[in-house]
Every structure is written in structure tokens, then in C-alpha cells.
A and B are shown apart, each in its own frame.
Chain A
């Protein structure tokens, strides 16, 4: 068991590395296929079911610039697995190099409490929380685009912007009770 560290290796030239963690391994493959299509930078995608990552590839593994936890809201297991994986990350990652991506948020079979729990988790870790429509090609394309936007900043490819700076703007905020806006 080892911590994944953000700065233990040197970055590659014009390269960004992203790690997709999803216990169900459904969405990550299609995301990965779309992510590597990016042409302006070399994007390496690593897939994992959960953390910690196995020791044997440790040497050959590049520096991971962004860790994405994909959570399927219809499954409690998916959430628990992501939560359990978090402790294998170096605290340095939480300075803007982790984000959560949630699927099926609008599905009738995903309970509102679970979404609240995910929101609480993301906001307590100061991480962005993205929502994705994983069933449609458009949804996958848009999710890819948004991950790339974050990834480029996290990999230091955007001048003047740092991951910490941007994550301060994009981090999830605590859930709010919208049902009762007391307007009067």
C-alpha cells in the first residue's frame, strides 16, 4: 500500500496524464477512448478500479496530473469504493488535482441522499464535482471536453493558471435547500 504522489516524478514535455477510477468500469473506457483523441497535447489515460494502484507498475507509471473518481449515483457500492480509495492519495493531490464525476444524477432510481453525500464529500475535499450524461455520445463528448479543460490546467499547460487557482473557482459548494427559497 502506497500513496500516489503528485510531484514524485518529472512531467513529460507537452504531456498530460489522467487517472480514471471507477469501480464499475463502465464509463471509463468510453471516456478514455475520447480523451486520447485530443491532439494539442499528448494525453495518457490510466484506468483503475480502485486505489491503491498495484506496486509492480510503479516504476513505469508516469506522473499522474489529475485523478478522476467516477461515481455512478444509482449504486451505493460505486460511492463507497470511491470514498475508500481517497485515502491512498497524497494530500498534495487535493490542491486541485482531484475531481469527481457523477453519472445518473437525474435518474429516478438514484436517491437524493446519495447525491447529497457525494456533494458533501466533494466540498469537504475542495474538489470540483462534474455531472455527466454517460448514455449519449454528446454527453460523453462534453464530459471529455470538461475533463480536458481541468486536466490541461492541472498538468501546467495553461499559462498563468495553476490547478490550485482554478480549483478554488470550480470546487463544489455545499448542497443547498432549493426547495424552499424564502423569497418573501
Chain B
């Protein structure tokens, strides 16, 4: 065991030695190497490898004990630690040459689990073997699947790109086509897009129908060379390449986990001073963002003429450098790495090149699908920590770019339908609040139905979380609108990168749908939770956004809260809720009056319906009558009770039971005020506050307690003169 461990460790370092010269001066490795050489002779694994590299073609497979013994040895190492690069080369060569027939080949392919990297040369040679054509088609598919699985671990891609045309030839095979398309998608660069290839793909498409894998490859071609691909590609496609649940996935993850831990340990001992500088020492944990790795290797880059020199992102270290090289940036081999680097995000933000986003979205969509919707046997428990970091990083990238990625949007629509409401809740809700405006025709199906089912079956805290999320979503939509709205034709293009264009009325419809939806959730939610003040607070947050849509965000749309929100807030037992409601009503009034005056000045027809004004007036009358005039149950008010019923309740002066003095939220202030005002008085008569002078003092007192909402409300809605005897005014009615 120890010997094989040594072997794989030092092999890893010897591979990196070839490319990174700085590593050679490492003493402890040399010592380990010597040790290894000594042990090598006896190591059964090395002997087995030797067997496989030397075995003659035509040796029988069945009943061959020697082969069986050696194969078991290799499999044991493969499943426990993964195979070192040179072992991968040997075994791949053995398998693909079909020296011992197909069944040996399949068995070897299945245990080809690389420990660190896969040498590119081995893959290229294997592709050459593939084209000899002796191999049965299912084995060919298995091989391509293997390449796709380990694609990120292949140490360089330049030679593979060099045989792009070679690989392209395999698309004509119907069985191989989906997998080859996927591989080509990963390898394609601008130079690879040629007229004859496009023609071939279109020809295939007419033969096979509009297959998603063909469409995906074509869409990438179109991004690189729009003049060559005239085909119209749907803006949102079915998640393209099928998920290859391959036999290697779980074994690979297990091996990487194990090696990752060991690697971390040995790093701390040996490579302490340079572990960041070596780009090859990446971990292949499946959800980790890969480091930025240039898609070309060094030699290839120096060969290129200086005029077409490209600069890999990894070589840039400052914003100034980025600006200088903006036109010749080379994207990394793995697009996911962009999310981890702030420079790369800057680049994404300002560059118009769509291929970067297309590839990034593809990478993300694939990762989402693999890790969250289609988990392997390892289950959710093992990945939760990684998943958490992955989503957090993604969130901060989205925050930086100030927009969501379309792949995360599509993922969310699927995920909401199988979500238990608690798994990674903060992150999922964070992603959800980033989604771009959803057309009103779709919004119900995609968002509201799954959310409603989750909302009403989940706990209070989920309800609060969702309220906050929907508030953020609305805020973002409104902000997009205020930035992207074009003034002349009222047409807005949302989300600079995806080409969704929306008319203003379409946008308004979506926003209105959202507000009404939250209104429904809030009314019933408050009822079910017994008007819990925490939930109420989140609901009022939402309406603080809603009441200012016109003035703050320039959207000519004003929606009043439903009664199910208004009354619980008005009769809340905590003064803060009442105060915030007063503030919201005040802002509604400011928005409505300015909308009305603007309508008069500009003669522009944006219509705020009479119904909205009516609702607003009704609410204001109710509030003033209730808090100020002590006319609580008057006919025509929202809350009506029969006279005899009220008398039966034995509450004297029921009309005044919710005025600013007797309102349960403010009663304690009234009592406090009474004690301060008449310190000597034994019997407390709260009604005495209602006289003109003390009333104004009492209001003054409330305002100094920080109830600015009430203050605004009183000032804007109640014309009130101190001189009047009763000290009480009336609602200003429109």
C-alpha cells in the first residue's frame, strides 16, 4: 500500500515537472523517489502494469489466470486511489488496441479512474485506435463517455483540438453522434468553425430532427461565426447534452475525495510556499470551481505569431492589464473558473462576446443538473458543504454582475418543483430573487404554483424568507426597469445579455401579477399564522417597495394592499406595524398625487384606475376614523358590526377603542403620558387626553418616540387646527 501511494504521488510530481520547472528543486520529493525505486521491483501493481504493456496481441482472455490476477490488482488500485497518469496511458493503450478482445477492453475502461491527470497523448492515441473501426459501437460509446467524464482532467487540450476534424468525422455515426457533439462542444474554438462542418451538422439535423445536442453545438458555432449559421436557434433550449450517468462518476468522486484529503496533507508539508502558483495542482472535486487554466499549453502559445497572440486570463493580475488585453483574451478551458475570479467577472461584465456567457451558462446548467437534480448514490449529505460554497460563490458572482444567469433561472424552475423548502434555503431564495422578469403568461406556472404550495405548507420562517425574497425580486425588477427603459417607445430590453425584449405593458403585467400574488400569500399567510408580527413586518417591507413604484422607479403603476394586509397591520398589537402602515399610506398619497399632477401637466395617458383612488380613499377614511375620530364602527367603514351585537359586548365607547389613545399598540404610551402629564392624579382617565391641548401634547410625545410614519400620515392627511374645540379634524378627501 505504502509503495503504491509513493508511486502515485511522485508520478504526479514528475508530470508537473515537465511543465512547471520551478518545482524541480524539491528535495523531499527526490528522497521519496529514491525510496520508490527501491520498492518498485517488488510492487505488484508495477508488475501488473508491466504485464499489460508487454502482453502480446491475441493472448486469450477467457481462462487466463495471469491476466485475471493482474487485472484485479489494477482494479484494486484504481478504485482505492485512482490510477497515476502513466498507468492510465498503459491501460488505455492496452484496452483500445483490443489486444485481448472486446470484453477485456470494456472491463479495463470501466476501471480507468485517474488519480490526478489524464495525459493528452494517451487520449489522442486512443482516438486513433477508435478510427481503426474494429471496435463494437457500444464500446466506442463507452470510450467517448469516459473521455467526457474525465475531460476536465486531461492535462492539455491543444493536440485534441488539432485533431478536431478527425473527431468531427464521427458525428456521422448515429449512435456516437450525441456524445461526439458534446465532446466537440467542449473543444470548439473560433478556428474550428468551418462552412463544411456547419453544412454537415445541418444535414444531420434534417436527417435526425432538431436534436438538442446538434442545436447546442450549432448555437456555439453561431456565436463564434454568426455569418455561417443562419439557422434560428431558440433562445432557451432544452438542457442540451444528456446526463451521462457513467460508471465512473461515483468512483471518481470517492477517489478524489480521498486524494483531496491526502493531497491537502502532503501540500502542507511539502509545497507550502508555492501551492498557489502551480495551475496544475487543481482538485477535481466536482463542485469546486476550477482554477483558471489556459486552454493552450506553453509551447503552442509561443509558436503562434505575435499578431494573433492570445492572453489567457490566468496571466492577468490587474484591471489595467485586463483593459490592455481586452481584445485578445483567451477564455479558460473550464468556464466555471470565471466565477471564482473577480477580473474574469469584470471581463464578463464589459465584454460583448456572447460565447463566454453561452459557455458559462452551459457549464453552470450542467453542474446544476448533475449536483442538484440528478444526484448520484452519494446523496445530498456528502455534497452539502460543497454545494453551499458553490451556491455562495455563484451568488456573489451574480451580485457582482447584478443579474442572474439564465441557466440558474431554468434550474430554479425545475428545482422548485422538487424542493423540500429547507435544503440550502438561503442560497436558493437568493438565486430566486435574482431571476429576470418572467413574462406574465408564464409566471403563474413557473413560479407561483410551486411557491404557493411551498409557502402554505411550510413554517413561519420559510414564509418570512419567501416574503423577503419576493421583495428583493420586485426591487430588482423595478431597478432593471428604471435602468433599461427606453423613453421614446416605452420598450425595454431587460437583462443586457439575454435578448428578452419586453414591452412596457408586458413588464407592468408581470409586476402587477407579482404584487397581487404576494398580496394573496400575505393575506392568507397572516390569517394562518395568527397575524404574527414577524411575518407582518416582512409583508410591510414588501409594501414599502410597492407604494413607491411611481416616484422611486418611474413605473406608472400603483397597487394598493389587500384588506387582508391592511387590517392586520392597522389593528396590530405592536406600535411599529401601525407606524409603518401609516408611513406606507403616506407614501401612497405622495405617489398618487404626483401621478395625478403629472397626468395633468404632460397630458400623457398612463392610467391609474379610479378603482385605485377609491381604494386608497377608503383606507385613509378608515384609518383616520379609527385612529383619530373615534368613529370605529360607523356605517360605510370596512369593519361593520350590528349595533345590538356591539351593545352586547359591554364595551362602553366602542367607537373609540382603536383611537391613538385606546389602540392596544399605543395604550402603554397613553398611560405613560397620562402619568407624566398629571403626576398627582390617582384615577386614570385616558379620555382626558383627548381634549384639545393634551391631545396635541400627546401627539408631540408620540412623534418624539420615533413614530415618524404616524407623523407623516397625520401631516399629510389630517387638516387639524389646535384652535378648534374638539381638537379633531377630518380626513382630506379627494
Could you tell me the distance between the alpha carbons of A126 and B413 in the complex, rounded to whole angstroms?
22
The answer to whether B236 and A183 touch across the interface, beta carbons within 8 angstroms, is: yes
Residues of B within 8 A of A160 (CB): 527
B528 pairs with A161, CB closer than 8 A: yes
Stretch with Cβ within 8 A of A (4 or more), from B18-26, B376-384, B539-547: B376-384
Whole-angstrom CA separation of A158 from B439 in the bound complex: 36
Q: Cβ of A87 < 8 Å from any Cβ of B?
A: no
Interface contact A108-B422, CB-CB below 8 Å = no
Q: Does residue B452 face the partner (Cβ distance < 8 Å to A)?
A: yes
B55 proximal to A (CB < 8 A):
no
A178 touches B446 (CB 8 A): yes
What is the distance, in angstroms, from A153's C-beta to the closest C-beta of chain B? 7
A170 in contact with B452 given A133-B423, A149-B458, A181-B442 (CB within 8 Å): yes
The stretch of B316-324, B367-375, B511-519, B687-695 in contact with A is B367-375
Interface code A125-152, partner B: CB below 8 Å = 1, 0 otherwise?
0001111110110110111011001100
**B125 CB, nearest partner CB in chain A, Å:** 32
Contact B235 A131 (CB under 8 A): no
CB <8 Å contact, B524 and A136 = no
Distance between Cα atoms of A7 and B422 in the complex (Å): 33
Whether the Cβ atoms of A136 and B380 lie closer than 8 Å is yes
B449 touches A173 (CB 8 A): yes
Given the complex, which residues of A lie within 8 Å of B375, measured CB to CB?
Answer: 106-108
State A142–B236 Cα separation when bound (angstroms).
34
Most buried by A among B457, B527, B530: B457
Residue A105 lies at the interface, judged by CB distance under 8 Å to chain B = yes
Which residue in B234, B421, B442 is a CB contact (below 8 Å) of A142?
A: B421
Known pairs A135-B380, A184-B234; A106 contacts B372 (CB<8 A)? yes
In the complex, how many angstroms separate the beta carbon of A12 from the nearest chain B beta carbon?
22
Q: How far is the CB of A171 from the nearest CB of chain B, in Å?
A: 8
Q: Look across to chain A and name the residue whose beta carbon is closest to the beta carbon of B376.
A: A108
Asked whether, in the complex, the Cβ of A131 is within 8 Å of the Cβ of B419, the reply is yes
Residue in B235, B420, B445 whose CB lies within 8 Å of A176: B445
Q: In the assembly, what is the distance between CA of A169 and CA of B456, in Å? A: 7
Name A146's contact: one of B243, B245, B458 (CB within 8 Å): B458
Complex CA distance for A108 and B371, rounded to whole angstroms:
10
Name the residue on A nearest B459 (C-beta): A145
The answer for the CA separation of A181 and B238 in the assembled complex, in Å, is 9
The interface residues of chain B lying within 8 Å CB-to-CB of A141 are 422
Given A183-B236, A183-B500: A139 in contact with B458 (beta carbons within 8 A) = no
Check: B239 CB closer than 8 A to any chain A CB: yes
Determine the chain B residues whose CB is within 8 A of the CB of A105 once the complex forms: 418
Whether the Cβ atoms of A131 and B418 lie closer than 8 Å is yes
Which of A129, A178, A181 is B453 in contact with, Cβ under 8 Å?
Answer: A129
Residues on the A chain within 8 Å of B372, using CB: 106
B422 and A142 form a contact (CB under 8 A): yes
- Chain B 224-266, CB-CB to A under 8 Å as 1, else 0, gives 0000000000111011000101000000000000000000000
**Highest count of chain B CB atoms <10 Å: which of A115, A129, A133:** A133
Given the interface contacts A108-B374, A184-B235, does A135 sit within 8 Å of B381 by beta carbon?
yes
Contact A150 B238, beta carbon cutoff 8 Å: no
Q: Which residues 379-407 in B have Cβ within 8 Å of A in the complex?
A: 379-381, 384
Residues of chain A within 8 A of B421, CB atoms compared: 142, 146
B452 nearest in chain A by CB position: A169
| B281 CB–A CB distance under 8 Å | no
* B712 on the A face (CB < 8 A): no
B283 at the interface (CB under 8 A from A): no
The yes or no answer to B414 lying at the interface (CB within 8 A) is yes
Smallest Cβ-Cβ distance to A148: which chain B residue: B459
CB-defined contacts of A159 to chain B, threshold 8 Å = 530
* Cα distance A50–B239 in the bound complex, in angstroms: 38
Point out the residues of chain A lying under 8 angstroms from B384, CB to CB: 136
The answer to whether A170 touches B413 (Cβ under 8 A) is no
Are the C-beta atoms of A132 and B527 separated by less than 8 Å?
A: no
- Assess the B414–A146 pair: CB atoms within 8 A: no
Contact B235 A128 (CB under 8 A): no
B442: which A residues are within 8 A, CB to CB? 181, 183
Asked if B500 and A106 make an inter-chain contact with CB atoms under 8 angstroms apart, the answer reads: no
A88 to B291, CA, bound (A): 58
Name which residue of chain B comes closest to A99, CB basis: B457
A74-108 interface (Cβ within 8 A of B) = 105-108
* Interface: A166 (CB within 8 A): yes
Interchain nearest-CB distance for A98 vs B (Å): 13
Q: In whole angstroms, what is the CA distance A160 to B458 when docked?
A: 18
Hey, which chain B residues are within 8 Å of A146, CB to CB?
420-421, 457-459
Residues of B with C-beta under 8 A to A132: 420
Chain B residues contacting A138 (CB-CB under 8 Å) are 422-423
| Distance between Cα atoms of A140 and B442 in the complex (Å) | 33
Chain B residues positioned under 8 Å from A145 (CB to CB): 422, 458-459
Decide: B528 and A158 in contact? CB cutoff 8 A: yes
A71 interface hit (Cβ, 8 Å): no
Task: Please measure, in the bound complex, the distance between the C-alpha atom of A146 and the C-alpha atom of B391, giving whole angstroms.
Answer: 25
How far, in whole Å, are A159 and B531 apart by their CA atoms in the complex?
A: 11
Query: Given contacts A145-B458, A178-B414, is CB(A166)–CB(B528) below 8 Å?
Result: yes
Q: How far is the CA of A139 from the CA of B418 in the complex (A)?
A: 13
CB distance from A41 to the nearest CB of B (A): 14
Q: Which residues of B contact A21 (CB under 8 A)?
A: none
Q: Which of A109-124 contact B (CB under 8 A)?
A: 109, 115
Is A70 an interface position by the 8 A CB rule?
Answer: no
With contacts A108-B374, A149-B458, A184-B234 known, is A128 near B413, CB below 8 A?
no
One of A106, A109, A166, A181 near B380 (C-beta < 8 A)? A106
Q: Does A56 contact B (CB under 8 A)?
A: no
> Please, how many angstroms separate the alpha-carbon atoms of A106 and B417 in the complex?
10
- A59 at interface by CB-CB < 8 Å: no
**Is A172 part of the contact surface with B, judged by Cβ < 8 Å?**
yes
The docked-state distance in angstroms from the alpha carbon of A106 to that of B530 is 34
Q: Which of A129, A141, A184 has the most CB of B within 10 A?
A: A184
Query: Once bound together, how far apart are the Cα atoms of A173 and B410, in whole Å?
Result: 19
Q: Which of chain A's residues have a CB closer than 8 A to the CB of B414?
A: 178
Q: B435 to nearest A CB, angstroms?
A: 12
Contact among B376, B449, B457, B524 for A130, CB-based, below 8 A? B457
Verify if A58 is at the interface (C-beta below 8 Å from B).
no
**Structural contact, A106 and B373, CB atoms closer than 8 A:** yes
Q: Which among B439, B453, B459 is the interface contact of A172 at CB below 8 angstroms?
A: B453
The residue among A107, A158, A166, A172 with the most chain B CB atoms within 10 A of its own CB is A107
Chain B residues, Cβ within 8 Å of A150? 457
Judge whether A55 is part of the interface by a CB distance below 8 angstroms.
no
Chain A: minimal CB distance from B307 (Å): 40
**In contact, A180 and B528 (Cβ under 8 angstroms):** no
Residue on A nearest B374 in the bound complex, by CB:
A108
- Shortest B458–chain A CB gap in Å is 6
> How many Å from the CB of B641 to the closest CB on chain A?
17
- What are the residues of chain B within 8 A of A178 when measuring CB–CB? 410, 413-414, 417, 446
CA A150 to CA B418, docked complex, whole Å: 18
Q: Which residues of B contact A166 (CB under 8 A)?
A: 456, 528
A123 CB → nearest B CB, Å: 11
Given known A176-B445, A178-B413, A183-B235, contact A136–B381 (CB-CB < 8 A): yes
- A sample of 10 inter-chain contacts (CB < 8 A) reads A106-B380, A115-B418, A135-B380, A135-B381, A139-B420, A142-B421, A149-B459, A170-B453, A172-B453, A183-B442
Interface on A for B, CB 8 Å cutoff?
A: 105-109, 115, 128-133, 135-136, 138-139, 141-143, 145-146, 149-150, 153, 158-161, 166, 169-173, 176, 178-181, 183-184
Instruction: Name B's A-contacting residues (CB within 8 A).
Output: 234-236, 238-239, 243, 245, 372-377, 379-381, 384, 410, 413-414, 417-423, 439, 442, 445-446, 449, 452-453, 456-459, 500, 524, 527-528, 530
Known pairs A109-B377, A136-B380. 18 more at Cβ < 8 A? A108-B374, A108-B377, A115-B418, A128-B453, A131-B419, A131-B420, A133-B420, A133-B422, A138-B422, A139-B420, A142-B423, A150-B457, A169-B453, A169-B456, A171-B453, A178-B446, A179-B239, A181-B442
Nearest 7 CB-CB pairings of A with B: A142-B422, A105-B418, A179-B238, A170-B456, A169-B456, A131-B420, A145-B459
